[in-house]
Copies of this chain bind each other. A is one copy, B any other.
Amino acid sequence: MAGHSWISSLSHISLLLLILSSSSLAAPNSPWMREARSRLAKSSQLSGSLSKRFTNGSCDTAGPEDFKAPKANVWSGLTDVEAASVTKWLFRMSGLNLTNSSKAGEWDNTLLLVELNVPNKTDVLPYIDGNASAPERWAHAVLDMRASEDPVLADILVGPLPIDSATTWMPLEYPYTKKSGGKTRNLDADSGLSYEFRCNISATIADITMDLWGGTAMCKKNDSLSIWGIDPVWQYDGRVTRWVQFWNYPTDEFDALTLLPLGLYFKTDETGRDPSAWKLEGWLYNDVFYPTTAEFRSAYFSANFTKLPPNVAGDWSGTDRRGSELPMDALPPPQAVRAGPARYSVDQEAKYVEWMDFSFYIGFTRDRGMALYDIRHKGQRILYELSLQEALAHYAGGDPTQSGTAYLDTFYGFGPYAFELVPGYDCPAYASYMNTSFYIDETTHTHINSICFFEFDADYPMQRHSTGTYVANTKNVYFTVRSVSTVGNYDYMFSYEFYLDGSIKVTVRASGYIQSAYFAANEDYGYQIHDALSGSMHDHVLNYKADFDILGKANSFQMTTFVPTMETYPWHDRPRNTMRVNRTMLKSESEGKIFYTGNGATQYRVVNTDKPNKYGEYRGYRILPSDGTCHLTVQNSSNLEAAVHPFTHDLYVLRQKDTEPRSCHPYNGFDVYDPMIDFSEFFEDDESLEQEDLVVYFNLGMHHLPHTGDLPNTVFTTAHSGVQFMPVNYYEGDVSRETRQMVRVDYGEGKKAEVKTFGQDEVKCELDMSSMEEGKDLSGYVGDVVIRKFPYDPNDPYFETDSIS
């Protein structure tokens, strides 16, 4: 996430929301907007139909079908009616003194969020595993309580739903280690004033910015410069200190702001809510610090002052096609197609999916975006929850803004930035989609087609074996659910893949614009990649939660390590240099912070020791980093302090507790010495990890040292990280043997080859490739569809979005 402070006079949070709401919304009555609404209103999904013969004629790819989840989805979010009723109810609580966000100033309280409070696992299991009724529904709301010298963001619960006379609200505190009544201080309460403060400072050197870059940042509409900087702000000694940098706005239509640093920085003390008490504390240019503006001005206008060049947008910073034509590139490349109906079932309303022997429910929250729940294989739960927790992008640099940057992206939220996916690009042309919603400013915004589902035939098989007399070969057809969130400059592509052998792969890939550094004094932190630009080194570390339930809740964590050894055997008279397997179990949480061993020597498994297989081996799932990952390089980060703990190791194993549902809070950066969730505290009670309900947190990460190939955008082929969950001794054999998508060819000995296809249908039909083109028709691409929550009219929920901003 890069800063987005080029729009002044709004709070940091509102700023980000405005980006979403201001530019991507259409006039409500345009024809294509009606089309978009119609896509929203009805399910656009295909679900599989029963087997059909695929004979000559047109391929039949259609076939939507009624399909119902076995249970209601208790994680999928509030209905529009629920959210509206909670919003209305909270606005009536006079003690909260809420103001409509469109009218609120710095000293008004607003309602930042209304969404489902994800129910406790303890309350859910009797429902999904038994005959108990569904758990009570409660709303989770966030209040931005700014009408105070000490502004706070307050997590509260409202419920039970539906709203009636018994409805109450209470502070939401139990998931947090900080015992503050669910409140954290809001260091951004005056971010609009803060930007004005910066403009005023900038104005004092407008002659210099004009001289250096031909532009100014004065909080005017024609500003050609932006001023933003570190995140989180410095919080030591009880002060609030900011470092900010000047940036060039792109002069074209591309989003290259984060490639255009200008290398002039200043530091402010913005402690407290009285802007008149805020102070400028100095300037930095070309690695020289000037404590006052006078000193900076004096130096600047001295004879020997070195002026450095700006970074300016150009062809190099746009993503459009450029350069020489590639040979034969005018011909269409191969593409994946589906010549028959979808082979999976989606209950759009319940957000429930079945593919082959897998099933799962989908949840979606503002902070963390898509989450999967109750992932089962062959009817048996493997994971209760599999979800992103937080994405850290920790930078370093020779300048204070890069050095001081450690984005915790749930602050911005993965939900609001899960844009519509691009068919044929983000997902195959034949993919199915699901919508997602998020709450902003008393409205529910819907991103159409922001989760996709598709089957794919990998470019390599699942299994093969050749001999002199036969060859056997099985297709590797897998199923993917995917969402993409673009948090500012970076696009995170989140994929969950399901395989015929029972394995599950979690992948994150990164593209989009790097946040770069001005090149002065940055040699130890990056390559110079353009005229005055340095690729700013940073670690992406994405923390995930994997709540395994292997044959029930009581699980253990086994480590199996390949070790070199010298052994003596009864069958030989001298010792032998060989290797063996050491098996150990984690005993308690004090052992639960894990670095992957060197050379990949250790295999990590969640097992159930009470339910061994018939050979006495523990059934379980292995956790295998499959795609290059890492934890955070920085030790005892000065930027994150106590908020760093979820990122310092590769794996964490903990006992599941309803009071520890997640590793991070979106406002952890507002109080880094005492964050809402201090993940390290989860380990302090040192609970047993032997046959307990275990939760594994794992990190996917990338050390990114941007180079010229990252211009204009980082490419997915190089920025990726993944982990695979594999059944190990879980089944009696390889379950991919169940698929028909295999072949055996017996050949040789003078005979014509004999081909066994195991009941596969031969696809003999004409596929209209135009239907694939239509599948990726992008003319209806749309931003948000907005449903107002307050005031809410269920008969006309859509409204003209210009009215809210």
Contact = CB atoms under 8 A, between A and B. Distances in A.
B501 A718 contact: yes
Contacts of A637: 577-578
A321 B747 contact: no
A339 B343 contact: no
Give the interface SS of chain A, mostly helix, strand, loop or mixed: loop
A457 interface: yes
A601 interface: yes
Interface in A258-289: 265, 267, 282, 284, 287-289
Nearest to A728: B707
Contacts of A509: 460
Contacts of A303: none
A294 interface: no
A335 B334 contact: no
Q: Which 4 A-B pairs give the minimum distances between C-beta atoms? A: A51-B330, A23-B468, A425-B473, A27-B750
Contact of A425 (B288, B323, B464, B491): B464
A164 interface: no
B710 A734 contact: yes
A222 interface: no
A753 B779 contact: yes
A329 B529 contact: no
Contacts of A473: 422, 425-426
A313 B738 CA distance: 19
Contact of A486 (B253, B427, B466): B466
Contact of A736 (B320, B528, B715, B763): B715
Interface in A1-53: 19-20, 22-27, 30, 32, 48-52
Contact of A323 (B284, B526, B737): B737
Interface in A564-589: 564, 569-572, 576-581
Interface string A545-564: 00000000000000010111
Nearest to A27: B750
A705 interface: yes
17 contacts: A25-B749, A49-B331, A51-B330, A321-B739, A326-B500, A334-B456, A334-B457, A400-B572, A426-B461, A463-B715, A467-B486, A502-B709, A503-B718, A564-B634, A577-B637, A603-B703, A617-B708
B753 A764 contact: no
A721 to B, nearest CB: 10
A472 B254 CA distance: 10
Given A331-B341, A336-B336, A708-B729, A524 B749 contact: no
A76 B289 CA distance: 64
A208 interface: no
Contacts of A629: 600
A743 B778 contact: yes
A79 interface: no
Given A321-B740, A711-B732, A763-B772, 5 more contacts: A32-B752, A323-B738, A337-B337, A525-B581, A539-B579
A468 B615 CA distance: 57
Contacts of A25: 748-750
Interface stretch (A173-181, A384-392, A657-665, A754-762): A754-762
A740 B162 CA distance: 53
Given A335-B336, A471-B422, A569-B400, A578 B638 contact: yes
A422 B22 contact: no
Contacts of A465: 255, 319, 486, 491, 511-513, 713
A344 B331 contact: no
A323 B735 contact: yes
A768 interface: yes
Contacts of A284: 570-571
A419 interface: yes
Nearest to A330: B51
Contacts of A562: 537, 539, 633, 703, 705
A151 to B, nearest CB: 27
B468 A396 contact: no
A770 B779 contact: no
A503 to B, nearest CB: 6
A323 B779 CA distance: 46
Given A628-B626, A633-B562, A633-B564, A330 B739 contact: no
Contact of A493 (B343, B464, B756): B464
A466 B713 CA distance: 12
Contacts of A288: 570
Interface in A691-734: 703, 705, 707-718, 724, 726-734
Interface string A474-501: 1111001000101000010101000111
A559 to B, nearest CB: 12
Nearest to A703: B562
A731 B708 contact: yes
A300 interface: no
Contacts of A560: 705
A769 B59 contact: yes
A529 B613 CA distance: 9
A336 B741 CA distance: 15
Contact of A730 (B572, B709, B759): B709
A507 to B, nearest CB: 8
Given A26-B748, A334-B430, A501-B709, A766 B768 contact: yes
A613 B708 contact: yes
A469 B763 CA distance: 41
Given A265-B571, A783-B468, A331 B340 contact: yes
Interface in A762-789: 762-770, 772-773, 778-783
Contact of A738 (B325, B512, B529): B325
A551 B474 CA distance: 43
A651 B638 CA distance: 35
Contacts of A713: 463-465, 472, 734
Contact of A778 (B267, B425, B753): B753
Contacts of A282: 571
A615 B711 CA distance: 14
Contacts of A400: 569, 571-572
A127 interface: no
A615 B579 contact: no
Interface string A450-463: 00001111011111
B537 A579 contact: yes
Contacts of A724: 717-718
A602 to B, nearest CB: 9
A26 to B, nearest CB: 5
A95 interface: no
Contact of A745 (B530, B735, B778): B778
A476 B717 CA distance: 8
Contact of A428 (B334, B344, B595, B758): B334
